[in-house]
Amino acid sequence: MIPSDVKATLSFSDGSPSMDLPIYKGSVGPNVIDIRKLYGQTGKFTYDPGFLSTASCNSTITYIDGDKGELLYRGYPIEQLAQNCDFMEVCYLLLKGELPNPQEKKDFDRLVSVHTMVNEQMQFFLRGFRRDAHPMAVMTGLVGALSAFYHDSTDVHNPEHRAIAAIRLIAKMPTLVAMSYKYGIGQPYIYPKNSLSYSANFMRMMFATPCEDYEPNEVLVRAMDRIFILHADHEQNASTSTVRMCGSSGTNPFAAIAAGVACLWGPAHGGANEACLNMLGDIQKQGGVEKIGEFIKQVKDKNSSVKLMGFGHRVYKNYDPRAKLMRETCHEVLGAVGLGNDPLFKLAMALEKIALEDEYFVARKLYPNVDFYSGIVQRAIGIPVPLFTAIFALARTVGWIAQLDEMIGDPEYKIGRPRQLFVGSEPRHVKPLAQRG
Ligand code: CMC
């Protein structure tokens, strides 16, 4: 880390000695004040629930400028990556720091494709689930179970194990997501076909049956690939921080990624795409565009718990650049499947317009995030709504793995162990049961 010439000084009004704190410079973005010695020197902790002002690590992977609405993977703008690269190139970039040249890309594509099958025993494990289980419940179990199948890549401190686990996870996630879908609808699993691209292979595993093959439509495959690119990493979000925290204990990579899947499921995070499409469906059922006003009133009512799903973000205080790209993809996909007049897309655009002009949203800098349009795209591709978050997990796996690898390779990393402000009972004595009133 590069020290700044400027130092911060923390002083106390009770006469305790003040303390100088070093500042480190970011290559872009805010600098950080190093408080690691604060407790040792002052006996005090900092208090920051939700990490509103706390950097939990240093990272070279992803940068977000929330005010500008800018997202960079390894320095490259997301718009350029979405335009010029496929998901495999983006995976290579996130894992290795540079975009691949043609030979490196060919080798990487091949490396991932030879790991797409899962141990045959996985299907018996899958059979233990109810058929109507939520795909994220199934995925949390399946990803965690990988550590019971691939013992030769479970030592997180061994760089070779980490590298094999990374490729296995990236390669097997589409197979697992498709298997959990097929299991839910009672169809036979479709084995991966390694001659296809990553995204086309996933779509074939989802939509082919042993009776009829699936002919991937180029526009839809490209849209799926774009969904993967846009969701691949997003710096220290809740699920990534969960993966880092879980991995910091030295647990195996599969277990750490399973923790990320579990965290992603929540509606404030990856579950928002499903919640957003359900919200649009509900408004549509109640009368569509005409009911937007009433819905927005509920969202603004402090006594209601209704939120405009797919809106707002901890970091973006401007339009999420991924939402812009997703809206563009929406137009292409709906055109390709003959849904140019899709009522849900029209409703989403009307809702966006009204919200962006409303003082409540303007004052709070609430803009559409990636989940606002991704559900409409996925639905048009034929992905069932409950599977949306599992697809987010599939795409985010590379980000989780890259971040875990970065943390383990960082000589400054320590087990994650936050402190607390204790406000409970002072020490007291236990009374025998008979004396408790
Ligand atoms: N609808 C209505 N009000 C909102 C919304 C929303 N979607 N988001 C934030 N607010 C309000 C919030 O009530 C608060 O108002 P006030 O200042 O009057 O109390 C203010 O805006 C600030 O919000 P916050 O909850 O303090 O912000 P946060 O940074 O803690 O939460 C968020 C960020 C993403 C959890 C939140 O905006 C949200 O719940 N959005 C809806 C769910 C969603 O779309 N999540 C996907 C995020 S992007 C994909 C991903 O990362 O997984």
Q: Which atom of ligand 1 is nearest to the CA of 50?
A: 30
Only one residue has tokens 């899962």, namely: 118
Q: Which atom of ligand 1 is nearest to the CA of 264?
A: 52
Per-residue confidence at 164, pLDDT binned at 50, 70, 90? very high
* Active site annotation includes 371: yes
Nearest-angstrom CA–CA distance, 124 and 133: 16
How far is the centre of ligand 1, averaged over its atoms, from the C-alpha of 261 (Å)? 21
Residue nearest to atom 11 of ligand 1 (CA): 364
Cα–Cα distances in angstroms (integers) from residue 183 to residues 159, 172, 174, 209, 318, in the given order? 35, 16, 14, 12, 40
Instruction: Pick from 237, 307, 325, 367 the residue to mutate for probing ligand 1's pocket: most ligand atoms within 8 Å of its CB.
Output: 307
Cα distance between residue 427 and residue 436, in whole Å: 17
Ligand 1 atom 14: the closest Cα is on which residue? 364
- In angstroms, the CA 249 to CA 256 distance is 10
364 CA from centroid of ligand 1 (Å): 9
Residue among 364, 391, 392 whose CB has most ligand 1 atoms within 8 A, to mutate: 364
Q: Could you tell me the distance, in angstroms and rounded to a whole number, from the CA of residue 301 to the centre of ligand 1? A: 14
Residues in Cβ contact with 88 at an 8 Å cutoff, skipping those fewer than 6 apart: 105, 108, 109, 112, 197, 198
Cα(373) to centroid(ligand 1), Å: 17
Write out pLDDT tens, residues 23-38.
999 999 999 999 999 9
Helix (H) or strand (E) holding 328: helix 321-336
The pairing of strands 2-10 and 19-25 is antiparallel
Closest CA to 256 of 151, 405, 387: 405
Which listed residue (371, 405, 410, 429) is catalytic? 371
Ligand 1 mutation target, pool 366, 371, 372, 392, most atoms within 8 A of CB: 366
Beta strands, E only, 56-171: 62-65, 70-73, 76-77
pLDDT category at 340 given cuts 50, 70, 90 is confident
**What residue ranges in 207-307 does DSSP mark as E strands?**
none
Atom 35 of ligand 1: nearest residue by CA position:
268
Q: Give the distance (Å) from ligand 1 centre to CA of residue 312.
A: 5
List pLDDT tens digits, range 44-102.
Answer: 999 999 999 999 999 999 999 999 999 999 999 999 999 999 999 999 999 999 999 99
Q: Supply 341's token pair.
A: 């007049």
Q: Distance between CA atoms of 390 and 84, rounded to whole angstroms? A: 25
| Separation of CA 263 and ligand 1 centre (Å) | 17
pLDDT at 153: 87
Contact 264, 270 (CB under 8 A): yes
Pick the residue whose CA is nearest to atom 39 on ligand 1. Answer: 268
| Mean pLDDT, rounded, for 240-247 | 98
Q: Report CA(275)–ligand 1 centroid distance (Å).
A: 14
Please name which of 182, 170, 111 lies closest in space to residue 143, comparing C-alpha atoms.
Answer: 170
Q: Which of 231, 234, 269, 313 is catalytic?
A: 313
User: Is 313 a known active-site residue?
Assistant: yes
pLDDT (0 to 100) of residue 212 = 95
The yes-or-no verdict on residue 1 having pLDDT over 90 is no
Which protein residue's CA is at the shortest distance from atom 40 of ligand 1?
Answer: 312
- Ligand 1 pocket test, pick from 273, 369, 388, 391 with the greatest ligand atom count within 8 Å of Cβ, gives 369
Phi, psi dihedral angles at 70 (to 5 degrees): -120, 135
Which ligand 1 atom lies nearest to the CA of residue 269?
A: 52
**Tens digit of each residue's pLDDT (9 = 90 or more) over 419-432:** 999 999 999 999 99
Percent of the chain whose predicted confidence (pLDDT) is above 70 = 100
The single-letter code of the amino acid at 77 is P
Overall average pLDDT of the 334-342 stretch: 89
Residue minimizing CA distance to atom 37 of ligand 1:
312
pLDDT, position 368: 93
Q: What is the pLDDT of residue 216?
A: 83
| Tally of CB atoms within 10 A around 149 | 15
CA distance 120 to 179: 12
Q: How confident is the model over 278-292, as pLDDT tens digits?
A: 999 999 999 999 999
Helix or strand (DSSP H, E) at 100: none
CA of 314 to the centre of ligand 1 (A): 7
pLDDT at 341: 87
Burial 386-414 (b: 16+ CB within 10 A, else e): bbbbbbbbbbbbbbbbbbbbbbbeeeeee
CA-238 nearest atom, ligand 1: 51
Residue 231 has pLDDT above 90, yes or no: yes
> Cβ < 6 Å from ligand 1: which residues?
237, 268-270, 272, 299, 307-314, 364, 366, 369-371
Q: Phi/psi of residue 6, each to 5°? A: -85, 145
Q: What is the pTM of this model?
A: 0.94
The position carrying tokens 């003040």 is: 18
> Which residue's alpha carbon is nearest to atom 3 within ligand 1?
307
Q: What is the pLDDT, as a whole number, of residue 339?
A: 86
Q: What value does the mean pLDDT take over residues 212-225?
A: 94
344 half-sphere exposure, CB direction, 13 A CA radius:
21
How many angstroms does the Cα of residue 63 sit away from the middle of ligand 1?
Answer: 20
